[in-house]
Structure 1
Amino acid sequence: MLLEGLETLSLLASEGTMAKVASRLYISQSAVSKRIAQLELRLGKKLIEPDGRQIRLTPQAQELLERLAPSLAEMKGVLADSQTLFDQTPLPIACSETLLAGYLARFMHDYLAQDPHLALSTHHTPVILTRVRSGEALLGICAGRLPPGHGLDAELLLEEPFYLVGNEPNPKRPTTAGAMRKILTMDLENPANRYLREPLAERGLEPAMELDSYLALIELAKAGMGPVLLPAGLLALVGEQGEMACPLPGLGRPLYLVYRQNSLKRERIARLVSALHQHFRHYNDTPR
């Protein structure tokens, strides 16, 4: 019960409302309130207070979470490792949206025929790492560079090249001396993408807009705006513009499988990891 209360408090810190926490935990709002009330009773201090339509943590609660957060995440991960994974047990997978759209839709359709209890969710890479570390996801499939000390086992699936798509996409087009060409990119403040700024600048390319949505970038490219920076896996979604995309030699992003150290001892996870490697081997053998 203590662990449940701390987990609920941690989610309240990030979500801000009882309703959102209830949705994350698949329980009722009254159950969320009960967990917090029991934790306050156990600790003998007030942990939350109203903040308009939201809820904020008291300074005492914030201090508690700062001290316990690393241990709480590790404890949840150990419990997830210890859970018996039956064939009917949901197997949560945290995945990059672009990988799901660009590489994994057909694979997942086929694989669900043999393991129908996969539970997919999409997130940015930093969130994927957090969810796998805490055991909320048993496998992560993510894109971009991983931070040092992430604490997980990581296997490279593919080095995915980038392309320029859309209006005047030729990066070799002459420009005024010293001038930077404006392009549209994904959010380069995302830690997994931050490494791209320097190599783009070396190629004379400067982000004019950074969008936190590949769907928006795809639609802008289809509408003729650009040039737009897109990974190879999404070119097919752009249609004719994607067929005329211009490669940027040497510029790419790594795609990784990440999992906790003991995960491959579980047959269902090991079988899925093997199938994913086999699937991505095709893309390694047949470059665009």
Structure 2
Amino acid sequence: MFDLHRLRLLRELKHRGTLAAVAAALSYAPSSVSQQLSQLEAEVGVPLLEPVGRRVRLTEQAEILVAHTEAVLERLERAEADIAASLVDLTGTLRIASFQTAALALVPTALGLLRDLHPRLRVHVTQMEPEGALPALQARDFDLVLAEEYPGNPNARPAELEQEDLLDDPLHLALPRLADGSDVVGEGPMAALRSLVHHPWAMEPEGTAARHWAMTLCRNAGFEPDVRFETADLLLHLRLVEQGHAAAFLPDLVWGGEPPNVALHRLPRGQRTRRIFTVVRSGRSRHPAIRACRDALLRAVTQLSGQALRPHGSPQPSSQASP
């Protein structure tokens, strides 16, 4: 029988990419990780790693082992969930990763609900964009991730992860007053975008789904945006709009249920909402802590739903008037 600890090291190498990253994540010496994997190779009787420059990659046989290891670990997580469900009190640590606007608008309310209902549950929250949080979830650095999906930019859905929709978050074109005191030239969503062809923009960093969506939207309107401010901090986007430095695309969550304080305009049809959802590893969704957290997040959405937030699947308003 293969050693499960060594199989987990092989799995970690697949997800983290290098022996040094595996060692750092697990607080081991790199030489110890290498030695354990060499012993696993001896157990299996075939090479599991092959050199590629200064790195290594998994062989076909190693990939087979990792697939079976994933199935074993999923079953063990189901066992952990069943044990937790048999207990009266919910204890232990729940590790959550959330992108900024959900962390500000929803997570504090959910934490309050969890504290009241399950005072012995320790919740650890990390602010992280989905591009980094989802791979970390697969590597078992987190138990639950709050993620987002922009129109026309569907996320990959690995079989080992399970998604559950949370809400539809409306998106808007947010812009400062122009030099003549107006905000846009012309009427309609495309005209509003085209009026900003020479205006500075604030956008999220390159490589993010939000940036790809925003660039595509501007290019479909016929121009290349002048991106002068690049940050994942949407509160900074908002401040730049407020003070007349940039235009930006902002979601309702950025206001946390408060009335918007900048001029907002409709986006083209089919581009007006992003989907917010929670993600866990397969086999983890039945864990009482996961169920309690998802329930608390849904209740947090409900508390804000009367202030422009819409639970996922609710009807889109027939019109969005610009202030």
Fold equivalence (TM over 0.5): yes
| TM score, norm. by length of structure 1 | 0.71
Residue pair 2:114, 2:292 contacting (<8 A) in 1 also:
no
Residue pair 1:76, 1:134 contacting (<8 A) in 2 also:
no
Among candidates 129, 141, 145, match of residue 140 of structure 1: 145
Greater helix share, structure number: 1
* Structure 1 position 227 matched with structure 2 position 244: no
- Indicate the percent of aligned positions where both proteins have the same amino acid: 17
What is the SS of the residue equivalent to 2:107? Answer: helix
C-alpha change, 1:219 and 1:246, in structure 2 (3 Å) is same
Query: Over aligned residues, Cα RMSD in angstroms?
Result: 4.2
C-alpha change, 1:111 and 1:245, in structure 2 (3 Å) is farther
Q: Report the counterpart of residue 21 of structure 1 in structure 2.
A: 22
Distance 1:246 1:203 in 2: 17
Q: Structure 1: which 5+ residue stretches go unaligned?
A: none
Deviation at 1:69, TM superposition (A): 4.8
C-alpha change, 1:57 and 1:280, in structure 2 (3 Å) is same
* Structure 1 position 173 matched with structure 2 position 194: no
Residue pair 1:186, 1:214 contacting (<8 A) in 2 also:
yes
Q: Report the counterpart of residue 6 of structure 2 in structure 1.
A: 5
Task: Give CA deviations for 1:19-78 in whole Å, capped at 9, x if unaligned.
Answer: 432332244545434422322433454736696xxx5105xx344455555444344333
Deviation at 1:244, TM superposition (A): 1.3
C-alpha change, 1:221 and 1:123, in structure 2 (3 Å) is closer
Q: Which has the higher contact order (CA 8 A, sep 6+)?
A: 2
Distance 1:232 1:243 in 2: 12
C-alpha change, 1:6 and 1:267, in structure 2 (3 Å) is closer
Number of residue pairs matched by the alignment: 279
Task: Give CA deviations for 1:83-142 in whole Å, capped at 9, x if unaligned.
Answer: 243733322334334321343134325634624422334444355555556765443321
Distance 2:194 2:99 in 1: 36
Residue pair 2:16, 2:139 contacting (<8 A) in 1 also:
no
Residue pair 2:184, 2:195 contacting (<8 A) in 1 also:
no
Q: Report the counterpart of residue 246 of structure 1 in structure 2.
A: 264
Query: Which structure's CA Rg is the greater one?
Result: 2
Residue pair 1:77, 1:133 contacting (<8 A) in 2 also:
no
Among candidates 136, 151, 165, match of residue 156 of structure 1: 165
Residue pair 1:94, 1:128 contacting (<8 A) in 2 also:
yes
| TM score, norm. by length of structure 2 | 0.65
Q: Structure 2: which 5+ residue stretches go unaligned?
A: 310-323
Distance 2:255 2:3 in 1: 48
Deviation at 1:160, TM superposition (A): 1.0
Distance 2:254 2:263 in 1: 11
Q: Report the counterpart of residue 308 of structure 2 in structure 1.
A: 287
What is the SS of the residue equivalent to 1:257? Answer: strand
Task: Give CA deviations for 1:234-258 in whole Å, capped at 9, x if unaligned.
Answer: 246xx99x62142435522111123
Residues 61-72 of structure 1 correspond to what in structure 2 (within 5 A)? 61-72=58-69
